[in-house]
Amino acid sequence: MPLFHNSSYKRKPFYLINEHFETIYPSVFRRVQMPEYVRERMELDDGDFLDVDWLQNHQKRCVIVSHGLEGNSQRPYVKGMAKIFFENDWDVAAWNYRSCSDEMNRLKRLYHHGVTDDLERIVKFVVSKGYSQIALVGVSMGGSTTLKYLGEQGPNAQKEIIGAAVFSVPCNLHDSGEQLKKRGNKIYRERFLKKLIDKVKRKAAQYPEMDIKGIDNIQTFDEFDERFTAPLHGFKNALDFYQSSTSDQYYPSIRKPVLIANALNDPMLGEKCYPYQLAEESEFILLETPKIGGHVGFTVSGDDQTWAERRALEYISQFVK
């Protein structure tokens, strides 16, 4: 599919002077005014649960929104997506990955970039509600999960899925991890690791046999993933986790229309997170690379909605029947 180099996102507020301001400002200061979610707990076949937050217009179409690493349905980028689709006659299911809602999940496993079984459960759950058209929207890790899921499903993806839009996606997981090791990205690395370490400590309170000795000395994602992510989720080691979970290897199998929008100045994405060749070779993937936007930023001057939110609605709307 032709690549979309001439992105429609060109106008950011003057005070967002670089990619770090573009990334951090909306994450910290943005507030989204919208109706309250209605939470539904989905009990799973393995004894665990997922919390799904709904906005419902009683429509026949629903958008499923997947959040980023250590995010949840309350993050402003999720609420912004929920709001714009809800206001345009969509029902919204904003789901929380295991351990990411207000309550720690029951099982020892948590979640990670490559875990698609829960997204599959969510899709089937939404289908069971009677929706005839479903769109998928994913942000950062949620985008990675969405793309991997669609690639794994290939031509067998739920017929109700009409398309997907994903933003700020670490398309190559290892490459994104290498990017986060850079000195200028210390603020993001430390923030994510602190949250992940705190979460493992909470999990260890549930499962006292977990060895968390020295956990506060972990400095890199490689260390964390080697020590916790891999063994908790059945991988041999961190490298096995990265190789198995990276979403880009699944792109050739995607058979639903997908927009991938990654800003060229995203501080968390390395060169391999811009899959130009894979997009060119696919009739289903449209890759759009705005020059600006940061990571999950895309703030627009004088607009309470971000460019990503308006672009997601615009892209998905063309497939509504």
Where exactly are the structural domains of the chain? Answer: 19-173+247-317
- With a CB cutoff of 8 Å and minimum separation 6, the contacts of 129 are 62
Give backbone dihedrals phi and psi of 148, rounded to 5 degrees, phi first: -65, -45
What pTM does this model have? 0.97
pLDDT > 70? residue 37: yes
The CA–CA distances, whole Å, from 299 to 13, 64, 305, 307 equal: 7, 22, 8, 6
pLDDT > 80? residue 3: no
Would you state the torsion angle of the CA atoms of residues 252, 253, 257, 263, taken in this order, to the nearest 10 degrees?
-40
The pair of three-digit structure tokens given for residue 256, joined into one six-digit string: 């639903």
pLDDT > 80? residue 6: no
pLDDT, residue 205, reads: 97
- Whole-angstrom distance, CA of residue 143 vs CA of residue 236: 25
- Whole-angstrom distance, CA of residue 270 vs CA of residue 171: 9
Tens of pLDDT, residues 221-237 = 999 999 999 999 999 99
pLDDT, residue 316, reads: 98
Tens of pLDDT, residues 137-172 = 999 999 999 999 999 999 999 999 999 999 999 999
pLDDT > 70? residue 124: yes
pLDDT, residue 47, reads: 98
pLDDT > 80? residue 20: yes
What is the longest distance spanned by two Cα atoms in the chain? 55
% of residues, the chain, pLDDT over 90: 96
- Whole-angstrom distance, CA of residue 276 vs CA of residue 55: 35
What order of strands is seen across the sheet that includes strand 38-43?
38-43, 49-55, 91-96, 61-66, 133-139, 161-167, 258-261, 285-288
The pair of three-digit structure tokens given for residue 165, joined into one six-digit string: 């839009």
Residues 293-299, mean pLDDT to the nearest whole number: 98
pLDDT, residue 2, reads: 64
Angle formed at CA 44 by CA 41 and CA 48, multiple of 5 degrees: 85
Tens of pLDDT, residues 53-100 = 999 999 999 999 999 999 999 999 999 999 999 999 999 999 999 999
- With a CB cutoff of 8 Å and minimum separation 6, the contacts of 208 are none
Sign of the CA dihedral running 167, 295, 172, 194 = negative
**CATH assignment of 19-173+247-317, among 3.40.50.300, 3.30.160.270, 3.90.550.10, 3.40.50.1820:** 3.40.50.1820
pLDDT, residue 102, reads: 87
pLDDT, residue 222, reads: 95
Name the band, by pLDDT with cuts 50, 70 and 90, for residue 10: confident
The pair of three-digit structure tokens given for residue 30, joined into one six-digit string: 């943005």
